[in-house]
Amino acid sequence: MKILICGNYGMKNIGDEAILAGLKKLILEQIPDAEIKVMARGSLFPIGFRSLFNSIFHPSMWFKPLSIVKNCDVFILGGGGLFSEEERYLSPLFWAFHGLIAAWCKKPVYCLGISVSRLGFLNKFFCKILFQKSKAVIVRDIASKNLLQEWGILSVLGTDPAIVLDTDCEDETQQENYVAISFRPFKNLNDNSYKIIAQFCDSIIEKFGLSIRFIPFQNEYQIDTQILHTIFDHVKRKDKIIIHEFNENFNELLKILAKAEMVIGMRLHSGILSILAQSPFISLSYMDKVKDFWSEFPKVACLDLDTLHIDNLISQFEKIWNDRREYRRISRETKTFLKKRSSVFSNLLAELKTAKI
């Protein structure tokens, strides 16, 4: 069976690549002989403004992606926050067209492990058609499921596919005296946001004798290291901070997170990978997909970045710090819960294996 996975891959984004690795693992567990191909950067349809204009003069830009789609038996779109206008307005339309082209080629389309935010008329119109034509839609948060229900779309509540990744982090990993922090560029962030994180770093360095490790989660298109250096410039105790180089190796990253006393992360997958590493963490919500994912777990600390204040951040940190063992237990329980929920992917793929494609 030839399975094509299409998504925001090949962009040096740890979260997206973790999703892809999770999807591959789930597929191969149920369909060991599956031939998996990935439709990613460099092989996507030229639907963006620039690429669409260029394709007028170079129509061959359509041949490769169309050939890839026509050659597959199953088309999987996702996962992740593909269907949100918060970062780029036309992003949902871009991904919907990929799924609709696959459906036009008479390929069974499955949308797996996705988030869906409230959309404007144009995006909603085409995304709704896509979901109606899909064989199955598995969302990763309750808010997405409720929204699709409003649209009259039947979906199944699953989770983020990255949660199934293997990890060799032991239950009682020896912690080291540091806090891991992940921050990313995003529109509307200003110097005040960077100063709050810098003040937070100085505060916990002085009060708790901790060091800080800045961890970049993306190194292309959005370069986290640039923002981390901006925060670093505002920190007084620079001698206590290490800025890690970008590393796509999940196991190495998980080891860093597992040894941290705590993780503070802006990217959704800084929290998801912290769950895998069984580390306490504070999520800084900058998009609906982050808030929506953690809203189901009231014991998980999730602070809105738009209203973030240094006192609130320090207060939440101290609350977790004073009960770290309990919050590690919460991480373990959340990991177990989410892994069980990932069975919806396995059940679907098991049915797919026996279906006549």
pLDDT in tens, 56-108: 777 778 889 999 999 999 999 998 999 999 988 999 999 999 999 999 999 99
pTM of the model: 0.95
Query: Per the structure block, which two tokens stand in for 14?
Result: 């740890």
Shortest CA distance to 128 belongs to which of 113, 116, 112? 116
Cβ-based neighbours of 301, under 8 Å, separated by 6 or more: 281, 282, 283, 316, 319, 320
Q: Do the two domains 2-158+342-354 and 178-338 of this chain adopt the same fold? A: yes
pLDDT at 168 exceeding the cut of 80: no
Query: Per the structure block, which two tokens stand in for 62?
Result: 């359509």
Residues 1-34: tens digit of each pLDDT: 999 999 999 999 999 999 999 999 999 999 999 9
Domain extent listing, the chain:
2-158+342-354, 178-338
Instruction: Report the pLDDT value the prediction gives residue 19, as an integer from 0 to 100.
Output: 97
pLDDT at 165 exceeding the cut of 80: yes
Cβ-based neighbours of 337, under 8 Å, separated by 6 or more: none
Residue 199, CB half-sphere, CA atoms under 13 Å: how many?
Answer: 13
Instruction: Report the pLDDT value the prediction gives residue 73, as an integer from 0 to 100.
Output: 96
CA distance 69 to 32: 21
Q: Check if the beta carbon of residue 279 is closer than 8 Å to that of residue 263.
A: yes
pLDDT (mean) for 154-180: 86
Residues 310-350: tens digit of each pLDDT: 999 999 999 999 999 899 999 999 999 999 999 999 999 99
Class of the domain covering 178-338? alpha beta
Put the strands of the sheet holding 281-285 in their side by side order: 241-243, 211-214, 178-182, 262-265, 281-285, 301-304
CA distance 335 to 257: 15
Q: Which CATH superfamily is 2-158+342-354 part of?
A: Glycerate kinase; domain 1 (3.40.50.10350)
Instruction: Report the pLDDT value the prediction gives residue 34, as an integer from 0 to 100.
Output: 95
pLDDT (mean) for 173-180: 86
C-alpha distances in Å from residue 230, one per residue of 170, 198, 221, 303: 34, 9, 17, 21
